[in-house]
Amino acid sequence: MPSVADIEAEFAARPWRALSPADLGPAAEVPTMLTPEERLLYHWLGRRVQGEGATVDLGAYAGGSAARLLSGLALSGRQFHVHSYDRFRSSRAFWSRFMPDEPLPETDDADLLPVVRRHLAPWEGHVTLHIGDIAEKRWTGGPIEILSVDAAKGAAIADHIAAEFFPALVPGRSILVQQDYLMAVQPWLPAQMVALRDCFVPLAHVPRVGLVFLSVGAVTSAALASARVGQLTDGKLMQRVRDAAAWHDGMVPRGRFKAMLEQVKANPGVRLGWQMKHAARRK
């Protein structure tokens, strides 16, 4: 197994940037909210998988992240399976923005499942769709090799995701992608991860707001208890954000964390990203 230093050097070189969209095969055509670099990263992560653990995709929308993971996993030479979690519903606004070539549904909260199943058809048999509220889901599927998180839109769900999925990560091998890590309206993510810094090493900032981590220590119940963010006061949340800024110094611009602190100050007690965002728009 490569050392932590070896893995840090591997990610510092950003080898996914050497890929092109053509390398992704049919996955390149699946609509997604991922940035162009994130699309290459997800495919590359699938290719480099080191063991036989599961790949978990939290927050799938129309299947874009799952498709890119699957396209890489199919080239890994290993057994693979992706567990993709979402409500698989969409507003008309999101539908028209991210899937302009699909017929627009007549009502909001439209069913995405037929579209997702069509998008993921090339990898049939290698993906399980977990339909419903992630806050009500449990993980019993054994070790996780790759965990992509795009569903921690509030502090409570961030705590739930950590409790259910982080203990299944394999130290020295598993990769965690926090896709929304640097969003100003989700300050609980760096607050959570900095409290778990004995269990994770940051590997790369992938613009715009994603951060990639390596699991380096078992996430125990005691570690989870110390990392909970759902009940933090504003003051403690802000202190953890400042601690995260110091932790990521040299990898992430300090301005990202300053924006988070400003959001907490402007939205006392708010622990949902959409509420922070809507409050900012009203001002």
From first to last of its 283 residues, the chain has per-residue pLDDT tens of 899 999 999 999 999 999 999 999 999 999 999 999 999 999 999 999 988 899 999 999 999 999 999 999 999 999 999 999 999 999 999 999 989 989 999 889 999 999 999 999 999 999 999 999 999 999 999 999 999 999 999 999 999 999 999 999 999 999 999 999 999 999 999 999 999 999 999 999 999 899 999 999 999 999 999 999 999 999 999 999 999 999 999 999 999 999 999 999 999 999 999 999 876 555 5
Quote the Cα angle for 209-54-51, to 5°. 100
Side-chain-facing half-sphere of 1: CA atoms under 13 Å: 11
Position 114 scores a pLDDT of 93
Position 1 scores a pLDDT of 82
Integer angstrom CA distances of residue 205 from 24, 98, 183, 276: 21, 24, 13, 23
Domain count, the chain: 1
Position 89 scores a pLDDT of 93
Range of the domain at 270: 4-282
From first CA to last CA, the distance across the chain in angstroms is 52
Secondary structure (DSSP) of 143-190: -EEEEEE----BHHHHHHHHHHHGGGB-TTT-EEEETTTT-TT-THHH
Distance CA 199, CA 217 (A): 4
pLDDT tens digits for 22-52? 999 999 999 999 999 999 999 999 999 988 8
- Which pTM does this prediction carry? 0.95
Tokens of 148: 């992509």
User: Tokens 């078992």 correspond to what residue?
Assistant: 218
For residue 167, the domain's CATH number is 3.40.50.150
Position 279 scores a pLDDT of 63
pLDDT tens digits for 229-266? 999 999 999 999 999 999 999 999 999 999 999 999 99
